[in-house]
Structure formats: structure tokens, C-alpha cells
């Protein structure tokens, strides 16, 4: 069975394409999923790709993915507020890469704080849809370093 990477997306990311394209670009979430799936598949990884605007659902999905090869997490606005997501990341073994399409540090000051970053393996932001592909690449490299990664 191939190792699995999970990509979890938070609130309003289902609106990509129509949502503030000057900030987030024109790509839809379906397009980002297709790119990430191709990138993971080329490297022998399966991909689970999900979006929810509900904090508790994201917590449940983090737990479900807790023993996978890794998790790419764009928690959207919950990045800046959620102790529940912070604790969920702490509660699992899988490495988590925090991603953002936009460069959050070049935006409003409330976006400069991340509840996820202190417990993430790393953070990638500001590269638009490429942020996701770079995060998958990082987890593939980590999985390789761990002799094929974990399953599940």
C-alpha cells in the first residue's frame, strides 16, 4: 500500500477562483487538488484532499490522518485563532506542513500570528497554488528520509 499524504483545507477555501483573486490567484481548489495529486502520485504517494469550513471537522480529520506520511494544512482563518487545531497537531505523530497561498506576513497584522506554526514541521506561504506542491515535495522528501514513510 502506498504511503498517504493528506491535504486539509479550512474555511472559504472552497471559494478559491472567485474569492479575492488579486490575493489568492485564479486557481480553483479542484485545480490545486489535481496539481497536488499529480505531484504526489508521480512520487508514489496516495493523496487525500479535503475542505471544511468547520473547525471541529478539521480536528477530526487531523486525528484521522495522525499516522499518515504527512499532512499539508491550510487552516485559512483558523490558522490565526484556533487553539483546538494547535492541540490537534500536537496530538498526532504525522509531520504537518502549514501552507498559505498568500504571504500572510505581507498582509494585516492579525495574519502574522499562527497557532499552527509553533507545532508544525514547517511553513510555506506566499507562492499561490505552488505553495501546495512545494509542501507535498517537502513531505515526500521527509518520507523518503524515513525509508518510505508511514502508511495510513
Catalytic residue among 6, 78, 100, 132: 100
The residue ranges that bind ligand DQA (CB under 6 A) are 12, 74, 76-77, 79, 100-102, 104, 111
Among residues 122, 135, 121, the alpha carbon closest in space to that of 49 is found at 135
Catalytic residue among 6, 24, 78, 86: 24
Q: State which residue, 90 or 105, has the beta carbon closest to ligand DQA.
A: 105
Catalytic residue list contains 78: no
Q: From the CB of 100, what's the least distance to ligand DQA, in Å?
A: 4
Catalytic residue list contains 100: yes
Q: From the CB of 61, what's the least distance to ligand DQA, in Å?
A: 16
Could you give the residue numbers annotated as active site?
Answer: 24, 100
Amino acid at each position: 500500500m502506498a504511503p498517504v499524504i493528506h491535504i486539509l483545507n479550512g474555511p472559504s477555501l472552497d471559494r478559491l477562483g472567485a474569492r479575492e483573486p488579486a490575493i489568492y490567484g485564479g486557481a480553483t481548489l479542484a485545480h490545486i487538488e489535481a496539481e497536488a495529486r499529480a505531484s504526489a502520485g508521480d512520487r508514489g504517494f496516495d493523496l487525500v484532499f479535503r475542505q471544511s469550513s468547520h473547525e471541529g471537522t478539521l480536528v477530526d480529520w487531523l486525528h484521522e490522518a495522525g499516522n499518515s506520511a504527512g499532512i499539508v494544512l491550510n487552516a485559512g482563518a483558523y490558522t490565526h485563532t484556533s487553539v483546538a487545531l494547535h492541540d490537534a497537531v500536537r496530538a498526532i505523530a504525522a509531520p504537518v506542513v502549514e501552507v498559505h497561498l498568500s504571504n500572510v506576513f505581507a498582509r494585516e497584522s492579525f495574519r502574522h500570528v499562527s497557532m499552527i506554526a509553533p507545532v508544525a514541521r514547517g511553513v510555506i506561504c506566499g507562492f499561490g497554488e505552488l505553495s501546495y506542491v512545494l509542501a507535498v515535495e517537502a513531505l515526500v522528501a521527509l518520507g523518503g528520509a524515513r525509508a518510505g514513510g508511514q502508511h495510513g
